[in-house]
A = this chain, B = another copy of it.
């Protein structure tokens, strides 16, 4: 991987425990401390309000905002608020005495940063070539004379065929009507768009003069909750003799990005409720209109941001789960939710975007990354292809954990996939103070195992509103490791603190007291929450186990565990292992891909060969239906413990639990 473009990295040494970890320029000190497992009190979520996260910069370069809780004298001797301090160079940071207890060390070095995305793009485009799904070619045709008076169309083909490697591309009627004047107005100098339709190529547009560089595409991830779009710079690929691929692809292909909630949210939070709505009269059309209008709005934003002519968008590549794609194309999704769960289609032929209401011109084409089954959609295929696991002989596991946990196991030879109804716990569903990963959501939690006092970070560093998936995992893991929660997922009765109390439905842990929250109520974790989380994590783990057993493998055989999805991106691997959501493997085997669905759509937009590869990947996936699968039910029951019934599968976690218990005795 090309890491040259990564920001400068500094070394931050925490005292008095003397732990040094690397950090990037501009990184927030509270987040670094959290990564390092260095506990700092921070009850306001990191927004600089409570003034509790005091640290002293003993040496080095840190940029901090002033804060009323720090006296001039404090500041003079180096005291700062960690949440308001950002790294400018190497630094030595002293943690005040009350926060010196900590427990873990950094194990997330293998995790991929956002900065790596450009490097992945470049690497994939070098591998697959950057001939776009719709190519754009400038052609300067020889003028006709009596000796050479073939038709305008044949003259065009003669020049175009060697560029695109296709003798007889189709020519749409609109192009045919525009061709004669187009050629003659520009003295036979035109730029044509050539779309890919299955095995065929089709000329979809004639532009006057050389417009080869004005060549853009839209990648869009059509999520149930969120829709993300990117404007992509395309080119026509290199001549085979040109070896300068690395140089050519150095620039980023993303010109602008935007995302928004899927407008369909008003009609139901999950795919099942959307399908229910689609079955109402005019429901399907309504849902289609709404998602189309969300996408159109995003396209408008990124086109405006980049300042391009929207007519130069030559294609759109969409990836989404099977239900989302049915709704986007206006196709009845009913049977996705009815046994035996047959979708109407998992692959969609290219269409003119306007045929479904999308804004780009008549000449543009909409492509969809193909899916596999009702609950393993094109978003997963997109991510799996992006991950590269299908190009290696080593076996990897791909996981996208949301309301459904979609998992894919395999290598370049075979692929098994499944969807395990993980339940909505990670999206905030079924959790008393659960919420989606939105501003105000507690996304990171550390709990001092002695005092049981929490340290929290919220998204947007605002006053807490609730707990999102990654915060929930952190919290449960920390409480489990601290001995507050037992292996059955119940609160222990032998730890005495004001934060553990009897609530309306059994015992609960108070993560934030009302005064510190935006909701002005205590934010708590209840035993019902714990039950729901246990079921969710057990379903994912059991699904993985079933795939592995079908492949005759164990977790330890995995070369890589690839975690995709916005949620996955913020998971703390160690915590997820501690609760048994992820298998206990060395952290360097875990890799975070972020929005891999969008990433795959992006590369597919820029590379026709990659798009074609997604079809092969979809075609080679064998879907294992877990509903009514007895093997799955057995594995699910076995996983309803922390971390799991099978202690031997989690030796590190069990050792930590025992050590912690011994320490407390």
> Which A residues contact B (CB, under 8 angstroms)?
144-155, 168, 170-173, 176-177, 179-181, 197-200, 202, 329-332, 334-335, 339-349, 351, 355-356, 373-374, 625, 627-628
Contact = CB atoms under 8 A, between A and B. Distances in A.
A591 to B, nearest CB: 30
Given A146-B625, A180-B344, A625-B146, A329 B173 contact: yes
A151 B340 contact: no
Contacts of A334: 180
Contacts of A180: 331-332, 334-335, 344
B342 A150 contact: yes
Contacts of A335: 152, 180
10 contacts: A146-B341, A147-B625, A152-B335, A152-B343, A170-B198, A171-B348, A176-B329, A181-B332, A197-B200, A199-B199
A245 to B, nearest CB: 30
Nearest to A343: B151
Contacts of A202: 349
A173 B342 contact: no
B343 A144 contact: no
B625 A149 contact: yes
Q: How many copies does the complex hold?
A: 2
A152 B334 CA distance: 12
B152 A344 contact: yes
A512 to B, nearest CB: 45
B349 A154 contact: no
A149 B349 contact: no
Nearest to A145: B340
A152 B342 contact: yes
A199 B169 CA distance: 10
A171 B349 contact: yes
Contacts of A150: 342, 373
Nearest to A203: B349
A170 B146 contact: no
Given A329-B173, A334-B180, A168 B344 contact: no
Contacts of A144: 340, 342
Given A168-B198, A198-B170, A176 B345 contact: yes
B331 A176 contact: yes
Contact of A149 (B155, B170, B181, B373): B373
Given A146-B628, A151-B345, A153-B345, 15 more contacts: A146-B341, A149-B374, A151-B347, A154-B345, A154-B347, A173-B329, A173-B330, A173-B351, A173-B355, A176-B345, A176-B348, A177-B330, A180-B331, A199-B200, A200-B200
Contacts of A179: 344-345
A168 B615 CA distance: 11
A177 B331 contact: yes
A340 B184 CA distance: 13
Nearest to A146: B340
Given A146-B339, A332-B181, A344 B153 contact: yes
A200 B170 CA distance: 11
Contact of A171 (B168, B345, B355): B345
Nearest to A627: B146
Contact of A153 (B149, B341, B347): B347
A550 to B, nearest CB: 14
A154 B346 contact: yes
A154 B373 CA distance: 10
Nearest to A169: B198
A80 to B, nearest CB: 58
Given A349-B171, A349-B172, A149 B197 contact: no
Contacts of A625: 146-147, 149
Contacts of A348: 171, 176
